[in-house]
A and B are shown apart, each in its own frame.
Chain A
């Protein structure tokens, strides 16, 4: 080692006087334009759901001010829709004090969800209800509930920041910010499209998500609405680090490197829950996360669209990380609840994960040009 170090140092010194560094420069990738990407806002269904999640996401939940009635909610949603329409096109919002920040939409999407409290305020019956509290939950108010949620996603963090600021400014007359959860995934250009991202545990996360034809059955109702669960799940990376790779894989039921099920070779091989090893034990452990969470019927699948979070570590250097776990499904009670119940009851991964926030939202259909999100609910 010492020899190597010296040699390297000598090499560096020898090269130093020359104008060009001796170390071959890492070639800078050609400029790839990510800034101008646009995801259309208008349509029968809201965007930001089945489209490929970009690098940055922010979930902003509001508590409505007392007296915000159905008419006021209509005014609020018209204003917020108008902001979203303009900003997702890469244009400043009306009265935008930082118009320059609007010019790079970077696949910006803004998705609106209505919590049970919004329906209450409007005098309507809510299609969603708070999840029951599970034994594994250590929920904090500061990450839970919410009458309105705005999911803001883009491939650029500054675009998310600007959009969030603009939307909050226009929402302020109608309510207070309850919580904001920001998260990230791999940046655009790091992988090819369609890649499976890694979460803060290093796992490939998203492999078994519904695809293609399954997607519609899992996510959309006939009226083009869907439902959203947002759970803040803290990951205990300090103790996760102590595990061997084998133990990590057993807790999940998939390989760390390839994401393949323990019974397979490639990421998208179907797990074989019947296969046993020489000792007669199932190769996919009975209590692995995947074994417990697995469903085959597309109508029972959920679309997970999580973002990693990583806030400042504490003085001892222990991370404050986890997942802003977001899942879309046509019906929370039919699809999400049974999975969550099974996981709460038994899931090896629970040892290293703790739900600290929980919120549910009905996601109304999209709107046509000139319309606004929620018009069929609130108009």
Chain B
């Protein structure tokens, strides 16, 4: 990639959007201040951008995401989403966890429609059944609408979980290691899907992952988090053209980003 192309993309990313998420000096301690999970974290997520956080296990990544999602209050600092402070779960957020967490007593379709059922009732869910079918179709699960989760493989369950996240048309996606339980082929496929969906919907996304290639592949920005108490120590812009494809993962630029991030993580681990 030439230098000019890189700066161009950088400018595009910078211009692309107003800040959707704004975190200012967010900290979080557990156990009445005994365990400090987050040191002050300040970060802006711009509209339509894809960010990843990568860091050693137990450094506070999930904590950060939970605070952002309004699942747990920060100890100090403020989180603002679309101009409003986050004081609890918000409708514009779609979340995905490490486990698919499908409910075994609901069919795949019912699982996908669960967010609507909870928020707007059974009636509303019924009227959006076609949307749900379309989403399942999109991730290659057509024909499995009326199947119960125990008949789905791990990858299929995770795909259904993606549909469940997307059914409410969230503007913001918070993803906590959603694909770490999947094998590499399925994972690549899911990453391609995720990229496509985010671009198509201009969604703002924040991904937590342990996979450096995954972070580089998906992100506009990769954040490195220090060991506990977690702090964002470095922000790395990924200037690879979009849409990205799997072949790019073998390119020298890609390899450079991966190596750089790995060295930064190693540094962190030695401290």
Asked if chains A and B come from one complex, the reply is: no
Residues of A with Cβ closer than 8 Å to B? none
Residues of B with Cβ closer than 8 Å to A? none
